Amino acid sequence: MSGHSKWANIKRKKAKVDEAKGATFSRLTKDVASAARQGGGNPDTNFKLRLAIAKAKEQNVPTANIERAILRATGQMQGVTYEEGIYEGYGPGGAALLLEILTDNRNRTAGEVRHLFSRHGGTLSESGSVLWMFEQKGRLSVPKSAALSEEALLEAVLEAGGEDLGGDDEEWEVITAADTLDVVHRALEDAGITIDAASLVRVPSTTVEVLGPDQDRLLRLMELLEEHDDVQRVYTNALFADDDGDA
C-alpha cells in the first residue's frame, strides 16, 4: 500500500478542491447515469447504481440531480447521452496508465487526452496495451479511527469473503473480488464495522517504481488527467516514493 499512498493523499486533497469547483458533482452524476443506462434505474437490483448513488450522496449531490440523471439514462427524460470508454497509455518512467472515461464526444476527448499525454512525457497507446495489467476488484474504505485492531479486522474481512487488507495513515483498504463487493460490504456492516466508501477499482498485477523527476512528471500528468471533465478515474501501476523516500 505504501507505494500508492502519495497518489492517494494527493487525490484526497484534490477531491476537496474539486468539490468546491463543482467538478465532483458533474463526475458523480455521470457515474449515476452510466450505471443506470447499463443495469436499469432500480438501485435495489443494480448494485453499480447503488454504489454510484451512495458516492453521490456522500458528496452532497442534490437528490434531484441524481433522479434526473437516472431518468435521462433510462430514456424517461431527454438529455445528453454519454459513452463509456477506456484509454490506455504510458507515462514518465514507463508507468502504465489506465483511464476510465465517460463522454458525449469521443473524438474531442481523445484529442484532448492525447495532448495531455504528449505534453507531459507520456504516450497514448493502442487498445489492449495496458488493460491486461489491471484486474477489476471491489474496494471498501474503513476509517482507522472507527475500526477494530488490524488482526480483528483482517479476521472479519476473511470471514466475510474479502481477499486482502491494506491501509495508510487514515484508512484501511479492504479488497474483494468484483462480484462479491456487495456481499462483503453487507457482512462487514452487519458485524458493526463502519464503511466509509465502496467502489469498483482496477488493481495492477505488476508494478514499476518511478522516482526522481519522472515521479514528479507522472504525478503532474495524472493530476491533469483527473481534472479533465470526461475522465472518471485514473489508474497506474507506478510505485511512488513516500515522503521519507521509501517506495
Residue 138's domain is classified under what CATH number? 3.30.70.980
111/212 same-domain check: yes
123/139 same-domain check: no
More confident residue, 116 or 19: 116
> Can you tell me the mean pLDDT for 230-241?
89
Residue 246 within a domain: no
Residue 183 within a domain: yes
Note the pLDDT of residue 16: 45
Q: How distant, in Å, are the alpha carbons of 71, 77, 107, 112 from that of 104? A: 17, 16, 9, 14
20/119 same-domain check: no
Q: Does the pLDDT of residue 5 top 60, yes or no?
A: no
Residue 66 sits in a domain of what CATH number?
A: 1.10.10.200
55/69 same-domain check: yes
95/158 same-domain check: no
Residue 106 within a domain: yes
pLDDT tens, residue by residue, 140-170:
888 887 657 888 888 888 999 999 888 777 7
118/233 same-domain check: yes
More confident residue, 208 or 13: 208
Residue with cell 526522481: 212
182/211 same-domain check: no
The model's pTM: 0.77
Residue 247 within a domain: no
Give the pLDDT band (50/70/90) at residue 10.
low
> Can you tell me the mean pLDDT for 103-121?
94
Residue 86 contacts by C-beta under 8 Å, 6 or more apart in sequence?
A: 98, 99, 100, 101, 127, 131
200/210 same-domain check: no
151/198 same-domain check: yes
Residue 78 within a domain: no
Residue 188 within a domain: yes
Residue 199 within a domain: yes
CA gap 156, 187 in Å, rounded: 9
Over pLDDT 70: what percentage of the chain? 87
Residue 85 pairs with which residues in a beta bridge? 101
Q: Does the pLDDT of residue 19 top 70, yes or no?
A: no
Q: What's the structural domain count of the chain?
A: 3
Residue 245 within a domain: no
CA gap 162, 184 in Å, rounded: 6
107/118 same-domain check: yes
42/159 same-domain check: no
Backbone angles phi, psi at 112, to 5 degrees: -70, -40
Range of the structural domain that residue 67 is part of? 2-73
Segment (H or E) for 171: strand 171-177
Residue with cell 479492504: 174
> Can you tell me the mean pLDDT for 103-107?
90
106/149 same-domain check: no
pLDDT tens, residue by residue, 30-82:
888 888 888 888 988 888 888 888 888 888 888 888 898 888 888 787 777 77
